[in-house]
Structure 1
Amino acid sequence: MSETVNYKFWTVCMVQDGDSILLLDRQHDSFKGFIPPGGKVEFPESFVEAAIREVKEETGLTVSNLIFKGLYEYVNPAKNDRYIIFNYLTKDFTGSLLDVSLEGKPVWVPIAEAYNLPMQTSIKRRFPYFFEEGTFEIQVEWDNELDKEGKVTIRKT
C-alpha cells in the first residue's frame, strides 16, 4: 500500500552578467542573507515559466534561454513531504533592476565575492555548481526529531 506524498515545487534562477551574478539582499523573516531570485511554481505553469516569472517579479528583469543546472530537494520521511527546487542559470536578460522588491534589494555581486556573503546553507551548498559543467542533484533528508538537516547526498553529472 502506497502512502500519499506531499510534493511542493520551487525554482531558482541565477542571472549572470560577465563575472557578476544577481542576488537579492533579503533581510526579513527567518531566511536572511543573499539569495538568487526564485519562488513557488504556480499550477499549471511550467518550471521554466515559473523561474522567468519569479525573476521578473523580484528583480524587474526579463530572462530567457534558461539552462537547467540541477535539483535540490528536501525529503521528510516522517511527514511524507518532498520539496523540489529546479535550479537554472541564464546570461540572457533585458530590462532594468527594481530598486527594491518584496524579497529584498536586487544587487549585482562579483561571483568571487559572493562566496563570502551570508547565505542560507542550501544556497551556499549548491552555489558553485551553477558555474560548473554538468548538472547536480542534492537531496537533504530532514531529521524530524531533531528538526534539522540529516543525511545530505550530492550527485554531479
Structure 2
Amino acid sequence: MKRTETVTLTNMCMIKNGDKILVLDRNDPVWPGLTFPGGHVEPHESFNDSVVREIKEETGLTISHPQFVGAKQFYDKNHERYLVFFYVADKFKGTVKASDEGTLTWMTKEELQQHKLAYNFDHDLPVFFDPNVSEHMLDGKRDELF
C-alpha cells in the first residue's frame, strides 16, 4: 500500500464580530456563492501562517490566534485528495476591504443560511458551529460529518 499521495492544502476561516460573521460572495465560476474567506497553503508555510496571510489578502483584516476547529476533505477531478483546514477567529485588526475573490458582508448565522451558499458549504457549517463535529468527508460515495 502506498503511504504518500498528492494533496492540495487549503484553509477557510469564519471571522466573528459579536453575533456577525464575515461572509465572502465568491466570483469564482467553479465554486460561486457564499462561503468564508481562505485559500491555499504555500510550500513551507505553517497552516496557521497560511490562514492569517489568506485572510489579510482577501479581507484586509489581520487576524490573531485563529482556532483550528476541523477539516473537510474530498477528491478533486484528478482523484487527488483536497484538504481544507477550518478556523474561527474573533480577534482582528484593520478595516474590511474586498478583493478579487468577491464581496464581503457581515451577517448573522441565520442571515447566512437564507442566502445562496457555495456548493456543499451548508454541509461544512456544522464543523464551524457544532463543537461535536470536526470533519466533513466528501468523496462521491459519501458525504459524512464526524
Amino acid at match of 1:60: G
CA distance in 1, matches of 2:49, 2:56: 11
Cα distance, 1:4 vs structure 2: 5.3
TM superposition shift of 1:71: 0.9
Amino acid at match of 2:141: G
> In the alignment, what sits opposite 1:82?
81
Task: Show CA shifts across 1:24-66 (max 9, x none).
Answer: 1223422211111101100111111111111100000000111
Paired residue type of 2:96: L
SS of 1:96's equivalent in the other structure is: coil
CA distance in 2, matches of 1:111, 1:3: 40
Change (3 A) 1:2 1:35: same
Deviations 1:70-113 (A, max 9, x none): 0100036x955111110000111110011x21100111111111
After TM superposition, the score normalised by the length of structure 2 is 0.90
Moved over 3 A (4+): none
Instruction: State the structure with more CA Rg.
Output: 1
Q: Does 2:141 match 1:150?
A: yes
Aligned in 2, Cα 1:130/1:3: closer, same or farther, shift over 3 Å? closer
Moved more, 1-10 or 103-112: 1-10
- Give the structure 2 partner of residue 9 of structure 1: 9
Per the alignment, in what secondary structure is the counterpart of residue 99 of structure 2? coil
The amino acid that maps onto 1:74 is F
Aligned residues: 146
The answer to whether the Cα contact below 8 Å between 1:70 and 1:136 also exists between their aligned partners in 2 is yes
Give the distance between the partners of 1:3 and 1:44, measured in 2 at CA: 21
Contact 1:27 1:104 in 2 (8 A): yes
Q: Which amino acid aligns with 1:82?
A: R
The aligned residue for residue 124 of structure 1 is 122
Partner of 1:33: 33
**Which structure features the higher share of strand residues?**
1
Structure 2 unmatched runs, 5+ = none
What one-letter code is carried by the residue in structure 2 that aligns with 1:43? Answer: P
Distance 1:3 1:49, change over 3 A: closer
